[in-house]
Structure 1
Amino acid sequence: MPRFSANLGFLFTEYSEIERVAAAAAAGFKAVEMHWPYQVPAAEMRSALSRSQVTMLGLNTPVGNVAAGDFGLGALSGRESEFQQSVDQAVSYGHAIGATAVHCMSGLVSPDAVSVAEQTFVANLKLAADKADQAGMTLLIEPINHRDKPGYFLHTIEQAASIIGQVGRRNLRIMFDCYHTQIMQGDLTRRLKDYLELIGHVQIAAVPSRAEPDEGEIDYHEICRSLDSIGYGGWIGAEYKPRGRTEDGLGWLSTWSQGQSSNDRGAVA
């Protein structure tokens, strides 16, 4: 049966970042993930997770200079040192709070820089994966759609699989976001099956609204059945933008997560 985690970058934003952990636990989530929790001291975050008996799955590398339009640094030639610093920060913070994975963001590139960007991303990920491995953590790379983020370097599942092959590290996996992949490519159930061995985490949200996964063009009941049938054993991250108060939109969770506790494991794998 599916096991759902709450992405606290989008869910429970009615609360402070620390309070979101307890709110997620009260709503029935046994695992959470975050985008950029670095302003919260690691000791405080770890205590909050321990009090609520919630597993922290993963977090993102810092995006870079937000004012300059950065959205990740991994594929940006000439900024390798900044990217490695962002990896060091993410791995150190993640390890301190007990997280199991770090999502390495590739960044935005122009069409004429794609070839160099791929070489840069591959070289950067080799170093980053080794750092994460020393901390016992997984690295994730996520294709992001060009409607929401025009120019994002990593934007298809096949591209991610190719990069993983070039990097050649056992702890580098795909974060398969159904929302992004549906917009860019579709054919979700086939791609989930074809790339199962490379998938480290799955995320869901309605398309096109990115709201609760109980509306829109994706049948997530079928996606969950497909994940069960192909033997996916990881978590499914609820990374959507609630239509209103988070708790008021969680009817889908109780319906879909029957039997969740009987197959509870604490890792993104």
Structure 2
Amino acid sequence: MVLNTILKNKRLWVIVIIIAALFLAITVSKSGRKGITGLENSVITVVKPLQKAVFSGTRGLIEFVETITQIGNLKEENLELKKKLSLLESDIVRLKELELENQRLREMLNFKEQSHLYEMEGAKVIGRNPGNWFETILIDKGQDSGIAVNMAVVTDKGLVGRVIDTGRNWSKVLLIIDQRSAVSGMVQRTRDNGVIKGQIDPIDMGNCKMIYLPAESNILPGDLVISSGLGGIFPKGLIIGKIIEIKKEENELLKYALVRPSVDFQRLEEVFVIKKHGDQ
């Protein structure tokens, strides 16, 4: 803006040119002479302060232009550095995701290698139903991979649920925390049998209820509950969860227990579908 103002001020430029011409004439005319005339001395006296001012102003202008240029370069460099930082942050997030996925897949692979009795198909969770607790999930494997209705679904942590619908490359899985789900379970320590149902009560949402337990059963909080194998859908011995509370039914002839599933359904990303097991 300052530079444009100076360039547009014609009067200032006329004065500068006249001064420069006078100074040049004096310089040329005095070359080869020993002294200067009184007129030349007067002109030099007048011109010298103006020359100094013009020189100082020009130098200041040059420095100002250089400063503006440097600021522009710094802004461009700053923008470039911000872009590189953003890319680096994205790479860090991507690498962290790959690291976590690699860890999960290693655990799943170890589980698969240890489960010699099962023929399993790995799948990724690609959808969930809208709700605080997801009672059904969608996975990316279906009929083309040999997946069929009523196949059990697990992770290395325990039982997830069963397949209730399939397409060519997708399947819908009913989770064990759904109130429509029913799994034959057994308390591992006492061998007491019962049925694992999803909870309707919002207070206990996300837990399961183990019903039809004998009143005289000696079950305790912390006891592990596994699948009993009854019914043919779920193979025996799959981890379901741990008992966190025990209560008597209203008729006091039976007990029921609240069971916290071993699978974290809120963070479910990969699963196995058991296509065939030892009981089949």
Does TM, normalized by the shorter one, top 0.5? Answer: no
Q: Which has the higher strand share?
A: 2
Give TM-score, length-normalised by structure 1.
0.23
Give TM-score, length-normalised by structure 2.
0.22
Q: Which structure has the higher relative contact order (CA within 8 Å, separation 6+)? A: 1
